[in-house]
Structure 1
Amino acid sequence: MELQRIQKPEGLNGTLLECEKSSGQEDGDPAAEVTPAEQVGFLSPNTSKKPSQFTDFEGKTSFGMSVFNLSNAIMGSGILGLAYAMSNTGIVLFIVLLICIALLSAYSIHLLLKCAGIVGIRAYEQLGLRAFGPGGKMVAAFIICLHNTGAMSSYLYIVKYELPLVIQTFLGLTENTESWYMNGNVLIVIVSICVVLPLALMKHLGYLGYTSGLSLTCMVFFLISVIYKKFQIPCPLNGTEATTPPTCYNGHNVSATSSAGEECKAQIFTLNSQTAYTIPILAFAFVCHPEVLPIYTELQRASKRRMQNVANVSILAMWIMYLLTAIFGYLTFYGRVESEMLHTYSQVDPLDRLILCVRLAVLVAVTLTVPVVLFPIRRAIQQLLFHGKDFSWGRHVGIAISLLVIVNLLVIFVPNIRDIFGVIGATSAPSLIFILPSIFYIRIVPSEKEPLRSRQKIQAACFAALGFIFMVVSLGFIVADWVTTGRSSSGGH
């Protein structure tokens, strides 16, 4: 009885897909070309032996490896700025915002999976094609490429600036030298060729589950170190209040003679000029939507419920890590925490071996995340330029090399890329989390099943409106920050 109950809706969906296939072929719909191949192994994997048109529709990745890959896609450099975000909101407001963003991200994934289940398509760009035609496909692919290119660049920027410091500490050097191994630009090229490129050449995203597990292990070590340091670093930081000169934190001078009671007091709820940047920081920290459908593609025994469970477990795990990192980082430095938390630890003790190991762990984590982020960009390019063509190793390798060359050039030659990332993040993150999943859902779900005025579609419309508001507000605050201070204070993914 249970087996029949589960199989029935799949059969119904299969019937719907066949009808859409026939309709698409009659109307000349480009999406109809991919529908038969994408149905195989998705709704009825055991009823057809027809080989898949795409090489990544084999469904061999386990539930655990899928969780590792999606968690690694969620985890980004933004975790280093969460304690700073908490210092500008207070503990209670930060927790409320963190819960809201996590729930909204999970709901967004639900909309994507429901769209994919209705039309039998597990490619973000193809959902855009089915919803709005070629224009929708191009917009979706462009936003994915824009956001993930920015994310890859931000990770390599961490390598560029942190790896020379790690090498300098390991070699016991007291100051920077002109040696090639202390040149950040040279180091990112070496890391890209020796580490990132071999992983990016993997044929299937599922194979990166092992490196994703290692990356997450490094971030768990980072979290454990943050918790440990909370009980090792005294407050106030300098120990003696009268003899230490003022220190500059977060753009203003903090006098060493300030009251220790005020300096070491946690804020439960606070608002200031930097509070507005907390929502963008948190939203960017949960962007993983370009990776959701490729991971869904390779999931064993793929179903909407199973993939939603993968997403829920991943988001919950990252929510816990984000919360603990923010709380213990904030309770270590309070108002003195910097936007990049590792810099704050370095000011306390530049030669601390534990912090050196933490820096190394963060470098490993962000380096191993770059290939995971590269896969959706390559998939988007293939969907746009080489749709319907058989797999080619030459094309697979060529796209990966070209993307790494572009990202390396960005990191090397763009002098002030933080502002560019601020604009990219403020536009692509709300598009991927709020706007695109909502409008895809409204357009793809048949009106016979859910009328336009149904509760589900009204919720989706409100969700899209929230994304537009978020985009406008974020861009407004970034531009205002440029005008008043000449720099952007927002974090990236």
Structure 2
Amino acid sequence: MDTEASAEVVAVGGSHSRSRRGRRHHAGKREVGVAGQASWISSVVNLLNTIVGAGALAMPNALARMGITLGVLIIVWSGVTAGFGLYLQSLCAQYLDRGSASFFALSQITYPNAAVIFDAAIAIKCFGVGVSYLIIIGDLMPGVVEGFIGADAAGMDFLLDRHFWVTAFMLVVIPLSFLRRLDSLKYTSIIALTSIGYLMVLVVAHFIKGDTMAERGPINYFKWQSAVSALSAFPVMVFAYTCHQNMFSILNEISNNSHFRTTSVIFASIGSAASTYILIAITGYLSFGNAIGGNIVGMYLPSLTATIARAAIVVLVVFSYPLQVHPCRASIDAVFKWRPNSKPSSNAANCSPNRHPLLPRPTRPQDSMGDTMFAIITTAILIFSYIVAMTVSSLEAVLAYVGSTGSTSISFILPGLFYYKISSPESAIHQRLMKEDDEAEDNLSDDDGGDDEGLLGGSGLLSASGLLKRNTRQWRKALLRKLSLGLAIYGVIVMIVCLITNTFFLASH
């Protein structure tokens, strides 16, 4: 009899515990739209491919200018600040319906009159980067051909023409650019990351082999070359982590958008990128010392492995181009949809009592762009980028200023300002979400108090514990809000520094 009673108590307790766990799990969900289908690995791969690009090849040279100690610290610091910007984006997405997160949607409920400026800056930045990828293809492929078949191959002169290769690889990127979902690019991203892996192995292998020591210059472990030289390397490290233009698409498409899951995507992507940069930077710099050039692959003697490395760079930028078309297209569409003097309250009137106020309500949560507009914008991006890449051989000046303004805005200023504005205690959205959190905590505290009241004879201690948790949560949100403002201010400082540095660098050349 005692055994049966004990079993009944265990069964009831287990059921009650599962019920509480269910309520706790449900309390963390704020999903109204359609859930995504992308896996965790797919999200990490696409975000990592957006981060790691041809800029990794300039890391050894940047390290030479700063010295190893300061250079590694700046690489890590740049990763931390970029990761914090991504983290703020994931928090901002919680204020929107599932699948509707975008810079445009956040602009509409924070700074509606500036939304068109934000999206125009993002579109220009992504378009410029995409064009630079095509230019890199045109510059590298003739050298790749010479490495494989030689420059004197009869009847093959067209293979040494940059215009031919820009045109040829456009045929590769066109179908990839018309894919609607970022998750569809996961396999090309894997191929691109494999190319980075090969480049990393190449640099490390030459360092271990030591076949560059005869040409190595002096090594600076703690001292920089000069303040101006170190400052000119700073933008290289900061912009190496720019991937924020695709973060909202990843948040919209990931199947499990829990706080832990999205944070782990950010941590894995930024951590992998930082590790790659540090490894290439240190081993590449130790291989050549202060004699290092701007492109680590170009430092190695002509060989089959070096030629394959150049081809790997081409593969990398080819499959990175569609990752720039995706946010560029979304931003251009948002610019077309923008109307002056938009008021957040106009959306509030259409919200049902069970929905958060002031939130945009797209009829197609995963993709609100119509098929016709999608085709027109994508075609326009492809045509104009092709024309620019064919007629201009260097976009150094334009990209320097576009990167200084666009990248800092996307990575630091906008995430910081958006979260600072939307998490304001006076914000109706924030008050609604805080109320839901408090109600969820109260329900859990009531359940816990009920259990312990029967066991301990009172729930006063647990009520105090619940109050402590609530105060701790409010303190953390207040601190996070201050840090978000700090990130925005940091972004402005970085923008000013980079603009001054670029102006001085271009003037000296």
**Same fold by TM-score greater than 0.5:** yes
Counterpart in the other structure of 1:214: 191
Following superposition of structure 1 onto structure 2, how do residues 219-368 of structure 1 map, counting pairs within 5 Å?
219-237=196-214, 263-272=217-226, 273-345=228-300, 349-350=301-302, 352-368=303-319
Distance 2:103 2:337 in 1: 15
Change (3 A) 1:5 1:359: same
- 1:164 aligned to which of 117, 142, 147: 142
1:359-397 CA distance string (max 9 Å, x none): 111111111111112111111222332586865444323
The one-letter amino acid paired with 2:207 is: K
The answer to whether the aligner puts 1:141 opposite 2:134 as a matched pair is no
Q: Name the larger-Rg structure.
A: 2
Alignment match, 1:425: 403
Q: How far 1:225 sits from its partner (Å)?
A: 0.8
Q: Is the helix fraction higher in 1 or 2?
A: 2
1:73 CA drift (Å):
0.6
CA drift of 1:128 comes to: 1.3
Looking at structure 2, the residues matched to 315 and 98 of structure 1 have their Cα atoms a distance apart, in angstroms, of 11
1:130 aligns with 2:109: yes
Q: Please show how residues 55-70 of structure 1 align to structure 2 within 5 Å.
A: 59-70=36-47
**Distance in 2 (alpha carbons) for counterparts of 1:401 and 1:169:** 34
Contact 1:176 1:182 in 2 (8 A): no
SS in 2 for 1:118: coil
Aligned length: 414
Q: Which amino acid aligns with 2:502?
A: I
**Cα offset, 1:268, TM superposition:** 3.0
- The CA distance in 1 between the partners of 2:160 and 2:66, in whole Å, is 38
SS in structure 2 of the partner of residue 141 of structure 1: helix
Bigger mean CA offset, 417-426 vs 405-414: 405-414
Could you tell me how far apart the structure 2 residues matched to 1:88 and 1:410 are? 32
Structure 1 unaligned segments of length 5 or more: list them.
15-38, 42-57, 239-259, 487-493
Contact 2:86–2:266 (CA<8 Å) still a contact in 1?
yes
Alignment of 1:392-411 (within 5 A): 392-411=370-389
Question: Structure 2 vs 1, CA of residues 210 and 416 (structure 1 numbering), >3 Å: closer, same or farther?
Answer: closer
After TM superposition, the score normalised by the length of structure 2 is 0.77
Partner of 2:80: 103
Q: Following the alignment from structure 1 to structure 2, what is the Cα–Cα distance between the partners of residues 384 and 302? A: 27
CA distance in 2, matches of 1:230, 1:455: 44
Residue 380 of structure 1 is matched in structure 2 by 331
Q: Percent identity at matched positions?
A: 22
1:13-42 CA-to-partner distances (Å, cap 9, x unmatched) read 57xxxxxxxxxxxxxxxxxxxxxxxx313x
CA drift of 1:170 comes to 1.5
- Counterpart CA distance in 1 for 2:415 and 2:155 is 50
Which one-letter code corresponds to 2:248 in the other structure?
L
1:151 paired residue number:
129
Does residue 474 of the first structure (1) align with residue 474 of the second (2)? no
Partner in structure 2 of residue 82 of structure 1: 59
Q: Is the 1:77–1:154 contact (alpha carbons within 8 Å) kept by the matching residues of 2?
A: no
Q: How far off is 1:266 after superposition?
A: 4.5
Which residue of structure 1 lines up, in the alignment, with residue 33 of structure 2? 40
Matched, 1:3 2:22: yes
After superposition, the C-alpha distances for 1:288-314 in whole angstroms (9 at most, x for unaligned) are 001000011110122333122111101
Confirm or deny: 8 A CA contact 2:293 2:299 kept in the other structure. yes
Distance 1:393 1:181 in 2: 37
Shift of 1:286: 0.2
Taking the aligned partners of 1:285 and 1:198, their CA distance within structure 2 comes to: 27
CA distance, structure 1, for counterparts of residue 276 and residue 378 of structure 2: 31
- Deviation at residue 102 of structure 1 after TM alignment: 0.8
CA change 1:161–1:175 in 2 (3 A) is farther
The one-letter code matched in structure 2 to 1:315 is: I
Report if aligned partners of 2:52, 2:273 keep a CA contact under 8 Å in 1. Answer: yes
TM-score normalised according to structure 1 size: 0.79
Give the Cα separation in 2 of the matches to 1:275 and 1:156: 29
Change (3 A) 1:176 1:184: farther
Q: Which amino acid aligns with 1:268?
A: F
Q: Distance in 1 between matches of 2:219 and 2:248?
A: 44
Contact 2:47 2:247 in 1 (8 A): yes
CA–CA separation in structure 2 for the residues paired with 1:175 and 1:232: 33
Query: How do 1:452-471 residues align onto structure 2 when only pairs under 5 Å count?
Result: 454-471=478-495
Residues 374-428 of structure 1, C-alpha deviations (whole Å, 9 max, x = no match): 1111112223325868654443233222112211222222354111111111111
> Which residue of the partner structure matches residue 32 of structure 1?
none
Q: In structure 2, list runs of 5 or more residues that go unmatched.
A: 1-19, 339-361, 432-473
> Which amino acid counterpart does residue 24 of structure 2 have in structure 1?
R
